[in-house]
A and B are shown apart, each in its own frame.
Chain A
Amino acid sequence: MKFRISISLILFLLLTGGNLSANTLTICSSCEIKSIKEGISLAADFDTLFIKKGTYKEFNIQITKPLTLLGEDYPIVDGEDKGEIITIQANNVTIDGLFIINVGTSYTADYAAIRVVESENFLIQNVVLEKLFFGIYLEKSKNGKVYHNKIIGDAVDEYNSGNGIQLWYSKNIEVKQNIVQHVRDGIYLEFSDNIIIADNTSANNLRYGLHFMFSNDDIYKNNTFENNGAGVAVMFSKRIKMYNNTFKKNWGTAAFGMLLKEINDAEISGNTFAENTVGINIEGSNRIVYKNNDFVNNGWAIKVRGACYANSFVNNSFLYNSFDISYNGNLNDNIFDTNFWSDYTGYDLDKDGIGDVPYRPVKLFSYIVNRTPETIVLLRSLFMDIIDFSEKVSPVFTPDNLVDANPLMKRPK
């Protein structure tokens, strides 16, 4: 096994380095090379800097040639709050196993712990960042990987804190298995296309766990977003695929599991929305398919604000939400079909698994709460149940064509 690994390593070096002269330079406090900057200036292309355990008080480390920075037992790189710490301006750079702390805070420059500028084929992995402003900042870069990093911020206010992982005008990047906590936006994408975001955990952030702006054709799957100030925001983007993510415990007056604004042709399936004030808030979004999602114990499972066309909600489970759906304006051509609703009280005489009576997901009470928010204190009162029932029998206030004509009797698999 070891033999095979070393062979593949050699092959790798042969293929990527293209020359056999790739050296390893060791950096430690008692070595010849005492600082990372010194190491970089001495290194030739495709060398590896092996950084031993210790504290390196350095900032503004510029990597301008293809190098591998490999840390042993998480050496600490302390920026002493003076500015940016590592800037990568070359292709094929790998950063592995560093512990970077104390990034400088600035109101004019976005100092990052690691910034990648106009580079390709980079790999940033096993890095731990603490006390940061911006964490990993990818700027006009392509074909890279951000893998298995841990970013723990200490953000208090939105105006003087940065984002955990930020992608700006970047393409074809994989962001996987990262943990981001206590920063402003956990993961932020702006003008970034073809990005894969998978298996990350983004929790306790001030604003959004994940934030899309003007980014198209991205996929995010199997991520967990928990207790973020406002959940996850997907805005002004096209063809985003969202699979099997978990959104939970986003509580507050402006907190959503997921906020969709001006999103077109997206696909949202297999996600779980649990215990959010609002599961999904939808505004001006068209042609989105919602399929096989679970909405459990939310205040509102779905809030539809208007200007939404041709969305379809199929095979979702709505379980024990205070309100299933709140709807402003007309139904338009949105479709609710074959969902499972835990509040459904109909019957299924022909035993085909589909209820014989249509289900109306919008309650009168939800309409009243929309109008006068204070009435929320009357939630679950007997009087409300009575008027909800009478409204159900003959809809007057709620849109009468907003029905699920084929409600499922059992939860879809």
Chain B
Amino acid sequence: MLKILKYSFYDLMRSRWSYVYFLFYLALGFVLLFLNQDLSKAVITLMNVIIVLVPLIGTIFGVMYYYNSKEFTELLLAQPIRRSSIFLGQYFGVAGSLTLSLVLGLGVPFALYGLFKSDAIWNFSLLLITGAFLTLIFTALAFNIAISNENKIKGFGYAVLMWLFLAVVYDGLFLMSLIVFEAYPLDSFSLIATMFNPIDLSRTLILLKLDISALLGYTGAIFKQFFGTNTGLVISLLMLLLWTVIPIWRLSYKAKRKDF
């Protein structure tokens, strides 16, 4: 598995798209800090970018890589290598290189602008951790979609749809249901609904740091417990971990049984 991971990783590191992705974040980081010297304000802006863009790029990249390297995969399948190592190797190669681009692309400008001396370092590392999680989750989901769909166009379609659903439509439905059922106590429902969407989950995680004063304005013991203590942070991180593990597990499960 490590060998395939290494191969995929280096293959991607050499490819143009990784550089583009890396340079994009680098440029974004520098421009943001150039326009706004305040590190913590830049972190807020970045959050908006990260929770939308990182899942999109993870999804597209994952699907693209799977379909593009299909022939290579079939060649590997002929060799005496375990199937799970082939697919997991490729997956971690893609996710790893994307994460690296993200972390380095954003880390370099912030480090140059004195991140290590500022108190924004915790918010920023939280941002990078969520970014990394989102990459891992959405690449895994993309691989899952690709492995279940032979048809490229269909696969792409589903992947983009999934992103659209989780990034925008889910929140719309969520909002509608909150308004429709506003006569009922909704605080536990709203927290649980947040858990079922990794994008919302990451948003909540960052809100915990940035908008805590607004979040505490709502009257409710459960909210207070969740947002006012470390419970929220711990639960959100655990859920993100679960969101990463389950698609990866399904990927290796599917890979073992798929007929090529």
Contacts and interface: CB of A to CB of B under 8 A. Distances in A.
A59 interface: no
Given A379-B207, A383-B172, A253 B216 contact: yes
Contacts, number: 100
Interface stretch (B44-52, B57-65, B112-120, B245-253): B44-52
Contacts of B169: 383
Contact of B171 (A255, A276, A298, A381): A381
A25 B10 CA distance: 90
B79 interface: no
Interface string B214-239: 11111110001000000000000000
Interface in B32-50: 41, 44, 47-48
- Contact-size category for B: 35 or more
B69 interface: no
B138 to A, nearest CB: 15
A208 interface: no
A380 B179 contact: no
Contacts of B182: 371-372, 374
- Contact-size category for A: 20 to 34
Contacts of A396: none
Contacts of A371: 179, 182
A380 B213 contact: no
Interface string B126-138: 0000000000000
B213 A297 contact: yes
Interface stretch (B82-90, B102-110, B183-191): B183-191
A320 interface: yes
A372 B178 contact: yes
B216 A299 contact: yes
B218 A378 contact: no
A374 B211 contact: no
A26 to B, nearest CB: 52
* Majority-rule SS of B interface residues: helix
Of B48, B178, B200, chain A has the most CB atoms within 10 Å of the CB of B178
Contacts of B217: 253, 277-278, 299-300, 373, 376
Given A323-B214, A377-B204, A382 B219 contact: no
Contacts of A378: 171, 174-175, 178, 200
A209 B174 CA distance: 39
Given A377-B190, A378-B175, A386-B168, A252 B207 contact: no
Interface string B173-203: 0110011001000110111001000001001
Contact of B175 (A253, A297, A320, A383): A383
A24 interface: no
B178 A380 contact: no
Nearest to A275: B213
B231 to A, nearest CB: 15
Contacts of B204: 377
A168 B47 CA distance: 51
Of B189, B206, B216, chain A has the most CB atoms within 10 Å of the CB of B216
Given A372-B182, A379-B214, A386-B168, 20 more contacts: A251-B213, A253-B216, A253-B224, A277-B213, A277-B217, A320-B41, A322-B211, A322-B214, A371-B179, A372-B186, A373-B218, A377-B191, A377-B194, A377-B215, A378-B175, A379-B215, A381-B203, A382-B171, A383-B171, A383-B172
